[in-house]
Amino acid sequence: MRYLLFYITILFLVLSGCNTGKQTKPKEIIIFHAGSLSVPFKQMTSEYEKRNPGVKFLLEAAGSLVCARKITELKKPCDIIASADYFVINKLIIPDYASWSIRFATNEIVIAFQDKSGYAEEIDSVNWMNILLREDVTFSRSDPDSDPCGYRTVIVFKLAEKYYGMPGLEDKLTFKNREFIRPKEVDLVALIESNAVDYMFQYKSVAIQHNLRYIELPDDINLGNPGNNKIYSSVSLDITGSTPNSKMTVNGEYINYSLAVLKDAPQSEAAIDFIAFMLSDEGMEIFRRNGQKPIIPFSTEQQEMIPVQLRIYLKEQIH
């Protein structure tokens, strides 16, 4: 009898251990995010995991349009989508896959390079187009059909043609060095660091994060000044839509990053809690340290759909 009780006790402890293991399995939050968010998101999720040991993040970086198509076409499971352009979520994700989005950060387009780049000591915000069009200079940009930085770069070309009064400038820049177009903006960094190209059109935050030199473009061109939206919207570009054979028009606009939690998010409650941390002062400070400015106050076009836990961060819009 004693032996029987002993074995029953051992069996109970083993089974209890198995059940405990199941209970402590971490919640995995899946985030599809713009490549330019890679550094701040890695830091932010790492900090959140320290405070919430039961949570793990699976981060997938891609061009924002590619992130959206993973959801709309490939039907991949995802909790949070974070885009470099609010337009991508509002156009492709809402209302079928998410009910709301929040704009949370901005950026601007710069021309980034390093000391070894050709004419590095000569290029400035006035002569940059003449430098880039030289035969012995190469530059890279991201794909307009995959990445907001890509279509924003072409919009910058269009605005520059008008700003500098140089007919044909857009076409000259668009058709030069096309072999160095890459799927997302952070892919361009490797081209610069390996000396494969001299320059790249890039977000200012990414240039800062990778300790690259850069020149700032005039406010009428760089898409970084909300007061210049009327100028930015004077140009537009057709890009690939929600399916490979469709097209949609993107207008020039002040850069707005946005995010959303999907309707069928596997870990929706944990995802919303993480976003609350991200929108807090502490979370936004991580963006500031990485050269990216928060949009304060945050804004939304779906006020009534915002989860209660997040409404405090939009208190100037929602009453």
Q: Which CATH fold would you assign to the domain 109-251? A: D-Maltodextrin-Binding Protein; domain 2 (3.40.190)
pLDDT at 13: 47
Q: What is the pLDDT of residues 95-105, one digit of tens each?
A: 999 999 999 99
Residues whose CB falls within 8 Å of the CB of residue 56, separated by 6 or more in sequence, listed in order: 26, 27, 28, 29, 49
Give the CATH number of domain 25-106+256-314; options: 3.20.20.70, 3.40.630.40, 3.40.630.10, 3.40.190.10.
Answer: 3.40.190.10
pLDDT band with cut points at 50, 70 and 90 for residue 296:
confident
Task: Tokens for 88, please give them.
Answer: 């991508």
Q: What is the pLDDT of residues 116-168, one digit of tens each?
A: 999 999 999 999 999 999 999 999 999 999 999 999 999 999 999 999 999 99
**Contact present, 223 and 255 (Cβ < 8 Å):** yes
Residue 232 has pLDDT above 80, yes or no: yes
Residues whose CB falls within 8 Å of the CB of residue 140, separated by 6 or more in sequence, listed in order: 177, 180, 181, 182, 188, 191, 192, 196, 197, 199, 200, 201
pLDDT at 230: 97
Q: What is the pLDDT of residues 255-273, one digit of tens each?
A: 999 999 999 999 999 999 9
pLDDT at 316: 54
Is the link from the previous residue into 148 a cis peptide, with omega within 30 of 0? no
For the residues 17-43, what does the mean pLDDT come to? 82
Instruction: Answer whether 25-106+256-314 and 109-251 agree in fold.
Output: yes
Q: Which stretch of 22-31, 82-91, 299-308 has the lowest confidence by average pLDDT?
A: 22-31
Residue 319 has pLDDT above 80, yes or no: no
How many helical (H) and strand (E) elements, i.e. helices and strands, does the chain have? 12, 13
Residues whose CB falls within 8 Å of the CB of residue 213, separated by 6 or more in sequence, listed in order: 112, 113, 114, 115, 117, 120, 207
Provide the 3-class DSSP secondary structure of residue 15.
helix
Task: For the chain, give every domain's residue range.
Answer: 25-106+256-314, 109-251
For the residues 197-204, what does the mean pLDDT come to? 98
pLDDT band with cut points at 50, 70 and 90 for residue 245:
confident
Give φ, ψ of 291 to 5 degrees: 80, 20
Residues whose CB falls within 8 Å of the CB of residue 69, separated by 6 or more in sequence, listed in order: 92, 242
Q: Which stretch of 7-11, 75-79, 276-280, 309-313 has the lowest confidence by average pLDDT?
A: 7-11
Distance CA 155, CA 177 (A): 17
Q: What is the pTM of this model?
A: 0.89
Distance of CA 301 to CAs 95, 143, 185, 269, Å? 12, 28, 27, 22
pLDDT band with cut points at 50, 70 and 90 for residue 2:
low
pLDDT band with cut points at 50, 70 and 90 for residue 226:
very high
**Contact present, 272 and 310 (Cβ < 8 Å):** yes
- The DSSP bridge partners found for residue 259 are 82, 102
pLDDT band with cut points at 50, 70 and 90 for residue 244:
confident
pLDDT at 241: 81
Distance CA 118, CA 121 (A): 8
Share above pLDDT 70 across residues of the chain, in percent, rounded to a whole number: 91
Using alpha carbons, select from 131, 143, 120 the residue that is nearest to residue 172.
131
DSSP tag of 89:
I
**Contact present, 263 and 77 (Cβ < 8 Å):** no
- Chain-wide mean pLDDT for the chain? 92
DSSP tag of 223:
S
Distance CA 11, CA 70 (A): 45
